[in-house]
Structure 1
Amino acid sequence: MPWCQQAILQSDDTNLSSQPPNGKIPIFKRGEFFTKAYMGDASRYDVDSDDEEEAETFGGNTHPPEYYRKAIEDFDEAEYDGGNYSEGSLLLLKAIEEQWNQFCSIILRRDPVECFRDISVPVLYHFFDWSLNQKVGKAGRKKRGIKTRSALGTNWKILRLVFERATGSKLDAKINRRMHTVLSSLGNKYDLSGKKRANRCMTVDDLKEQIQETLSTTRKSFHLGELRILAVLFLLLLAPAGSRPASILQLRYGDIRIVLARDPEGGPHVLLIRFTLEFTKTYLGSKDAKTFTLPESIFDGSLLLNTHIFLLGILFRHQAFRSPSLVAPHQLNELDIHPGEHEMPLPLRSDLQNVYVFRRAVKTLTGYEISPEEPISYGMMAGWLRRIGELLGIEHTTIPYNLRYNAANELDRNPSISAALRNLALDHANSDPFQKHYLGREVCADVWAIVRGAKQQQTLLKQACSVGHSVSRRRPADLTAEQAASVNTHPRIRSEKQALRRALKKETRDAWTDEQAVKDIECQLRGDKYAESPRTSRPGAPQRPAQQRLLQAILAPVSNTLEGQYQRRSRAIQAIIVYCEIVEVQPVHAGRTDTGNASTDYARQETSSLAQAVSSVFIESSKERSNRCFLCIGAALSLESDDPSVERLIRAFSSPGDLTKHFRRRHLSNLASNTRPECKVCNVVLAHKMHLQNHALLIHGTRS
């Protein structure tokens, strides 16, 4: 074999003679592919006849044999113990492992791994008994503790995984069987609840009410209008796919494909949304991605359920289309498909490939803006959904999985969907998870009619078994002024105020259904009309003009013509684009008042004109101080005069010192280091933070 085939070729233009210099294989410099730590002196790798086979193996490859010999010696098998876990699972594993380490070191005074090797039922019993008695966590914080048997069972499953990771073997089957009795005994001892979470479905009608309340309420602030739109888009993408909510939140622009498709039945061209979801539960490796296709319903009776207008609103808001001329929604009406073809893609910008669609808002100098890369967490989205459900008056806590339950049950009941396709959509390996967790425990069938052979009242049963069966606008969503005051005067107020508020609110809501039903029955039997319910919480602020225009566009009636429908769609998308930029007013709830004085009117603000406010923030001497924030007034200049947030932005502070605190906390602390701040009342752009502080003092009398 020629020696050049045995060499490590480092450069395409290296001149090689027919014989190796000094009888050795040269090592060229390109890439420095093998470091001295492995190679050492190159002279060690002379090739003689005995090494011919080894040289042939190395010839033309990247690394010599020594590289792999060394790598095998240094290989750490511990990195590959167990399965591939998601971040949430890793947190649970770490928490249980820390508890086990504490128990072994403090109670047993032994090494945790040694305790695993000598594990027994008595040790496991007293570990969980000790764990159930832990009331205080890190930094003296009160622990939530284990409240249900299912949570105790989950901790046992996680401990088994910790055991396997520590010992490399599975727990003895005999111990595993006995632990079922142990967990049951501990559940009885600590009176743990065996009640499972309700798996009621959120039907399409429930979803419609949820979306309308999300768009219209002012009792829940999203800080930035785009977050309100994203809260709706999340529901509309989750509802048809039935996917895990976390996979929707991890959607990136690169996972979305917008296509203009030809209708094979001869109708007008239809916009398709194709979105690909990565499986988020990665135990034992990642799963295959699935792509869902949603066709637009052009003559949609309600735009509240139109996924396309909300997604297109976000795409146009961020100018996400790769075509530089496609910048307005009305341009979609002008597009056509090339003759002989079925589709025309509308590609998105390649630089948005890995950018999250669902991103949280971050504070800026004068308001909020969408974070460049920080996604909305599952807890944040779940909190929004729960709050809107409370405002709707739903008895049960609304969760994202209500929509997943609904999709699963609808797919199961549909005769054109096989069990295999249902499992594929839900990311289930078989039908067991569906039957155990997703199949509604509220049996949604008119079983007596089926047995009798009579006509089934399926529509009524579907409503009765859904999450929306209990909707009542009279149901309390917040604490009353008196309830809030009672919490504030509680003797344990300092450490448990928030916990007491949550507990009182839950108790009030849980008891309301039956108590109110008794009152209604007595009222009707007396022959009286329904009495007006007392106000249980503060009313929301008036809707702002942009919110009114948004609702007006989305609730617009169906047009009789195709052109009218296109215009309806364009107006709705444009209203969404505009609303995305709105900074929302934070509502004040009775439960958040520290003094218990809930009689303060939400809208009580000092009245003064915007023009007077602008003139008041300019000083005539260096000793003069202002009581108004020139940055907030600058933000008010971009709003309409009848916008209710104007009064809040131009209000006067009690003293220049209060203004200084506000200026530091609200503006300076949120000014990024690479940002050039702008003073809108002076219409000047400032160089940096210190320039802003100097401008604030010399021009506007605001000390910082």
Structure 2
Amino acid sequence: MPLLTGRQAQQNLIEEFNLSTAKDEKPIMRAEDEFELLKTLWESPEVGLQHERLQVQLALMIQLAGITGNRPGALRRLQYKDLKIALLPDRAGGDWPRLVMDFTFQHTKRYLSAKDPNTFPVPDIPWEPCLLLCPQTMLLSLLFADDAFAVPGLKLADLLNLRIPPSKRELLIPIKLSKAELPLFQRTEHTTNSVKMLCKAVTENWLCERLQLLGQITGFDLPVKPYCFRWGHSEALDSSSVYIINNYISDSQRNLILQHSSLAVFQLNYLSQYITQDTQAAYRGLEPQTAIIRAASGMSRSIDPQRPRSLTDRQVATVDRHLEVVLAQRVRDRLAERARARHTTITRSKGTTAHETYQQAQRAYLRTKREVRKAMMKQVRIRYRVEQPVADILHQLKGRSTQQSEPTNKGEAEKTLSSERQRVLAALLTFAPSELTDDHGQRAEAMNAVTALCKRQESPVRKACRMKEGCSDHTPEAHLHATICAEDEKIEYDSFPVQCQPTQCIFCIGDEELSPAKRAKSFRNRDGLKRHFIRKHLQYHAARQRIKCPHPKCHNEWLEHADHLRNHAATVHGSLT
């Protein structure tokens, strides 16, 4: 029997198992698509990040991913030493200097051979129509929040009014050497008292999960990935001679920007199979319809806020009755009974073979259930993609207005945002003024709002119940959160007496990064407070170790252990945990 080559063996496997050879779609994330993504990031309460600084970091990562087209590994590992901020003379003859930021990406791809680091200059845009796409706003806000500038006492208003000294061609704005190794995009860590920022870069998994969730909330059909921005950036470079006058980028420059060894890499792996040019106009000798072709080949055309993002109660029940899930659950329950028969409880069986076997079965059960849920969610989205256009057309044929099907809860969603987030959203979505002084004032307001937001820890809104088919979108928790946000201004920071309410959390009262209303929140009953006290705070404290009382009136009084703290909270502060 003759030996088969690798390609022949691959072809035989494809024919035998009826495998698909189609390439994955390469969705292009253009600037207008990025605008929709960033708009959702700031106005949707469903994003659910642990700290508001992460909102700013994610916005800047999205902006830089589109502007530079870098891989996610190089993007997330940016450090303060990779930044250079300077003022340059305005070559257009303006009176005010221009702010230019240089980003040097050191941590490039190492496969086959090390790639040389690239430096991208990003100048500010005078009278920018909307600051939502402005990376200078986000970066300067992070720098001021971290007190990263080497100039003592430098304020934002001072920075915007700086001039270049005579006989010089630039004015550098240095960053502290002590901040040089600090990552620009930092990850968070839960502590007993709150959520704190670490001196470690965010992970690539975190970035992928956040972008995928953000794309689902926006309503995109295809998943949003970090490489969507790289594909969009490369497509913009390839089409620069078509869309942008006097900004043609050659093939050699594109290879340098994308760090490709040859043009073949771009043609084989980056070009979208969806043609982005008006071939009809080229064939018939007509003026190309650039705008409609650009809209047709972008991701925004698939935005549908009503696209299903979670399973209904009925579908979840179907998952629980799935054969594979039921079998995995039976195996887990049988092993749990064995562990209880030998050791009374599963907790007491820790460290034994029975407990390890039970844990493996538990992980297998959860993994099976997760895979079945994912497969069902995929089928639900496919069915929606097929059936919804028919329903929309029938809706119009019956003479009904198309405006009736538009979502009506946008205003309610904005009410659930904190006052700081609403201030940022208003500043970023304000159109550019006509006067230069007003432009500086608008930028200063946006940066001040974002800087203040970086210091705020805002817990995500939890759903009170699963969304049922045909029920209202306004959950009691959303109304409660709206009420809390509306009362933020009514609560003073010094209005926390030693004796608090029985269902108030002393950790939340002592966390100055929370909003005043969140600090003063009273839980519905003692059980709710106890669950919160353990899940959000005590589970991150090592057993039998000393702990400080977080209440602001105790001035960090040391207690012997967690039980001592709970007794202290009840006797001194009246908080019953």
TM-score by length of 2: 0.80
Q: Secondary structure at the match of 1:287?
A: coil
- Does the aligned pair in 2 maintain the 1:546–1:579 contact within 8 Å? yes
- Does the aligned pair in 1 maintain the 2:457–2:514 contact within 8 Å? no
- The code of the aligned residue for 2:476 comes to D
Does the alignment pair 1:189 with 2:63? no
Does the alignment pair 1:455 with 2:287? yes
Q: Secondary structure at the match of 1:511?
A: helix
How many Å separate the matches in 2 of 1:675 and 1:443?
64
Aligned partner (choices 520, 527, 540) of residue 670 of structure 1: 540
- Does the aligned pair in 1 maintain the 2:82–2:103 contact within 8 Å? yes
How many angstroms does 1:464 deviate by? 0.6
Partner of 2:129: 301
How many angstroms does 1:435 deviate by? 0.2
Q: Secondary structure at the match of 2:119?
A: strand
Aligned partner (choices 667, 679, 687) of residue 550 of structure 2: 679
Partner of 2:356: none
Q: 1:260 to 1:615 in 2, by over 3 A?
A: closer
The within-5 A match list for 1:131-170 is: none
How many angstroms does 1:280 deviate by? 2.8
Q: Secondary structure at the match of 2:280?
A: helix
Where structure 1 has 5 or more consecutive residues not aligned to the other structure, the ranges are 1-121, 123-173, 620-625
> How many residues end up aligned between the 2 structures?
514
How many Å separate the matches in 1 of 2:316 and 2:498?
38
How many angstroms does 1:445 deviate by? 1.0
Aligned partner (choices 295, 298, 313) of residue 466 of structure 1: 298
The within-5 A match list for 1:630-649 is: 630-635=506-511, 639-641=515-517, 645=518, 649=521
Aligned partner (choices 391, 397, 403) of residue 519 of structure 1: 391
Q: Which moved more, 1:270-279 or 1:303-312?
A: 270-279
Q: Could you say which structure has the greater relative contact order, defined with CA pairs below 8 angstroms and 6 or more residues apart?
A: 2
How many Å separate the matches in 2 of 1:663 and 1:633?
12
How many Å separate the matches in 1 of 2:233 and 2:204?
19
Identity of aligned residues (%): 26
Where structure 2 has 5 or more consecutive residues not aligned to the other structure, the ranges are 242-247, 330-364
- The code of the aligned residue for 2:382 comes to D
Cα deviation digits, residues 64-111 of structure 1 (max 9, x gap): xxxxxxxxxxxxxxxxxxxxxxxxxxxxxxxxxxxxxxxxxxxxxxxx
Cα deviation digits, residues 12-64 of structure 1 (max 9, x gap): xxxxxxxxxxxxxxxxxxxxxxxxxxxxxxxxxxxxxxxxxxxxxxxxxxxxx
The within-5 A match list for 1:262-281 is: 262-267=89-94, 268-281=96-109
How many Å separate the matches in 1 of 2:464 and 2:266?
41
- Does the aligned pair in 2 maintain the 1:547–1:579 contact within 8 Å? yes
How many Å separate the matches in 2 of 1:297 and 1:274?
15
Aligned partner (choices 583, 586, 590) of residue 457 of structure 2: 583
Partner of 1:230: 57
- The code of the aligned residue for 1:310 comes to M
How many angstroms does 1:462 deviate by? 1.2
Partner of 2:189: 362
Aligned partner (choices 568, 572, 576) of residue 699 of structure 1: 572
Q: Secondary structure at the match of 1:679?
A: coil
Aligned partner (choices 345, 353, 378) of residue 506 of structure 1: 378
Q: Secondary structure at the match of 1:551?
A: helix
Q: 1:258 to 1:689 in 2, by over 3 A?
A: farther
Cα deviation digits, residues 638-672 of structure 1 (max 9, x gap): 6245xxx467x4214444xx645543432233358
Q: 1:246 to 1:591 in 2, by over 3 A?
A: farther
Which runs of structure 1 show a deviation greater than 6 angstroms over 4 or more consecutive aligned residues?
534-539, 590-594, 597-600, 606-611, 672-676
How many Å separate the matches in 2 of 1:676 and 1:349?
34
How many angstroms does 1:235 deviate by? 0.9
How many Å separate the matches in 2 of 1:500 and 1:587?
27
Partner of 1:401: 227
Question: Which structure's CA Rg is the greater one?
Answer: 1
RMSD: 3.4
Partner of 2:443: 569
How many angstroms does 1:692 deviate by? 4.7
- The code of the aligned residue for 1:510 comes to I
Q: Secondary structure at the match of 1:276?
A: strand
Q: 1:309 to 1:651 in 2, by over 3 A?
A: same
How many Å separate the matches in 1 of 2:400 and 2:92?
58
Partner of 1:94: none
Q: 1:179 to 1:633 in 2, by over 3 A?
A: same
Q: Secondary structure at the match of 2:535?
A: helix
Aligned partner (choices 50, 61, 82) of residue 255 of structure 1: 82
Does the alignment pair 1:388 with 2:214? yes
Cα deviation digits, residues 390-413 of structure 1 (max 9, x gap): 111111111111111111111122
How many Å separate the matches in 1 of 2:445 and 2:556?
34
How many Å separate the matches in 2 of 1:530 and 1:308?
40
Q: Secondary structure at the match of 1:259?
A: strand
Q: 1:405 to 1:463 in 2, by over 3 A?
A: same
How many Å separate the matches in 2 of 1:567 and 1:260?
18
How many angstroms does 1:701 deviate by? 5.5
Aligned partner (choices 101, 114, 117) of residue 286 of structure 1: 114
Does the alignment pair 1:313 with 2:163? no
TM-score by length of 1: 0.67
Aligned partner (choices 544, 547, 571) of residue 421 of structure 2: 547
How many Å separate the matches in 2 of 1:568 and 1:484?
48
Aligned partner (choices 150, 156, 170) of residue 322 of structure 1: 150
Q: Which moved more, 1:213-222 or 1:658-667?
A: 658-667
How many Å separate the matches in 1 of 2:396 and 2:213?
32
Cα deviation digits, residues 243-300 of structure 1 (max 9, x gap): 1121110101110111111112321211111010125321244221110000001210
Cα deviation digits, residues 538-560 of structure 1 (max 9, x gap): 98571111111111111122122
Q: 1:524 to 1:277 in 2, by over 3 A?
A: same
Q: Which moved more, 1:407-416 or 1:493-502?
A: 493-502
Does the alignment pair 1:480 with 2:306? no
Aligned partner (choices 139, 163, 171) of residue 336 of structure 1: 163
- The code of the aligned residue for 2:376 comes to L
- The code of the aligned residue for 2:445 comes to R
How many angstroms does 1:309 deviate by? 0.4
How many Å separate the matches in 2 of 1:309 and 1:581?
16
How many Å separate the matches in 2 of 1:339 and 1:432?
49
Q: Secondary structure at the match of 1:362?
A: strand
Q: 1:603 to 1:265 in 2, by over 3 A?
A: closer
- The code of the aligned residue for 2:217 comes to L
